[in-house]
Amino acid sequence: MKRAINFGAGPSAIPLEVLEEAQKQLLDFGGSGLSIMEASHRSKLYEAVHDEAISLMRELYEIPADYEVMFLQGGASLQFAMIPMNLNKGGKLQYVDTGTWSSKAIKEAKIQNLNVEVIASSKENTYNQIPTEIKFDDDADYAYITSNNTIYGTQYKEFPSTKAPLVVDASSDIFSYPVDWSKIDMMFAGAQKNAGPSGVTIVIMKKELIENGPTNIPTMLQYRTHAENNSLYNTPPTFGIYLIQLIMKWLKARGGIKEIQKYNEAKAKLLYDAIDNSNGFYVGHALKDSRSLMNVSFNIKDKDSELEAKLIKETENARMIGLKGHRSIGGLRASIYNAMTLEGVQELVDLMNKFAKENA
């Protein structure tokens, strides 16, 4: 079997070694005679997997002891509503708008008739950069950013400093580089890009924020509920958490977060160099100082939709999938998350170079 090279934005590639290990254990996990999918979430068999996944996340990401690590459901999209429910104190909620996902988060907070302020945005420039002037008010209930923007291919190079609690949607770049926890009060992510399969949402949150949260909202929508029950208040997505555990083991075997960052930088450089050295045939969407290491969005010169469709067809014929750009900006998009190999990016670059010569 020859596997596809998956450049999809999410759900995205999972390391081959992880898939092979899950396949090997699928019918009989650890000699138990059960698949881990069949094991009770109250059983010692599953709880060992659950606890090791959290322990590995803490170790690899150097998460401080005063932060809780939780597995939730509902995707990052449910967090857009849960965050204002749990963190608003009747003051202002401040957001930076860098694209579709932050815009959706803003919309969910406004639905709750809260005092929402957008303090910076790159919308006027088709979200082609991270705003340069970001200043949150010290007395805001929280400050909210989206660290990486899958559609537009932009990424924060440094998180803004603020006295207000900083909330980071890291759905598309979690575990891809080390973070400074002294700046972050809450980080969350849908797992389906870098950490695992779809169906699991990771929340890393200061315990103080959880303890001070409200009790007059539905039980399942309180972070307290999940923190107090080790994310086992109800049945969690057990198989997805098992795959997260395997991916954390894979990351550790590769040398950890710092080493995967170097690998990601090498992949991104290879692809951006191909764009920059194409004599204008390829044009990147994001400004250079805002370029993402995870999602590379680009067009063919003059946004030639016929040539773009032709290139996408050629990539598909070469077993590369997921390269069609988001409908909002068109073009092409290569998502090169942790599991994407340098060899896979090289195959794409070789094809792009050949295509440019033939169609310039």
Per-residue pLDDT tens for 37-93?
A: 999 999 999 999 999 999 999 999 999 999 999 999 999 999 999 999 999 999 999
Q: Which of 247, 238, 200, 249 is nearest to 29 (CA)?
A: 238
Going along the chain from its start, the domains and CATH numbers come out as 16-253 (3.40.640.10), 256-359 (3.90.1150.10)
Note the pLDDT of residue 55.
98
Q: Please tell me the distance from the alpha carbon of residue 116 to that of residue 94, in angstroms, as a whole number.
A: 6
Residues 73, 236 contacting (CB under 8 angstroms): yes
Tens digit of each residue's pLDDT, the chain (360 residues):
789 999 999 999 999 999 999 999 999 999 999 999 999 999 999 999 999 999 999 999 999 999 999 999 999 999 999 999 999 999 999 999 999 999 999 999 999 999 999 999 999 999 999 999 899 999 999 999 999 999 999 999 999 999 999 999 999 999 999 999 999 999 999 999 999 999 999 999 999 999 999 999 999 999 999 999 999 999 999 999 999 999 999 999 999 999 999 999 999 999 999 999 999 999 999 999 999 999 999 999 999 999 999 999 999 999 999 999 998 899 999 999 999 999 999 999 999 999 999 998
CA 199 to chain centroid: 13
Q: Please tell me the distance from the alpha carbon of residue 204 to that of residue 182, in angstroms, as a whole number.
A: 13
Tally: H helices and E strands in the chain: 10, 14
Q: Write down the pTM of the prediction.
A: 0.97
DSSP tag of 124: G
Per-residue pLDDT tens for 289-336?
A: 999 999 999 999 999 999 999 999 999 999 999 999 998 899 999 999
Write out the catalytic residue numbers. 101, 169, 193
- Alpha carbon of 110 to those of 101, 221, 360: distances in Å? 14, 17, 48
Specify the pairing of strand 142-146 against strand 92-97. Answer: parallel
The alpha helices in 30-178, defined as continuous H runs, are 44-61, 75-87, 100-111
Note the pLDDT of residue 222.
98
Note the pLDDT of residue 305.
94
Q: What is the 3-state secondary structure (H, E, C) of 241-300?
A: HHHHHHHHHHHHHCCCHHHHHHHHHHHHHHHHHHHHCCCCCEEECCCHHHECCCEEEEEE
Note the pLDDT of residue 156.
98
Q: Please tell me the distance from the alpha carbon of residue 176 to that of residue 350, in angstroms, as a whole number.
A: 25
Note the pLDDT of residue 7.
98
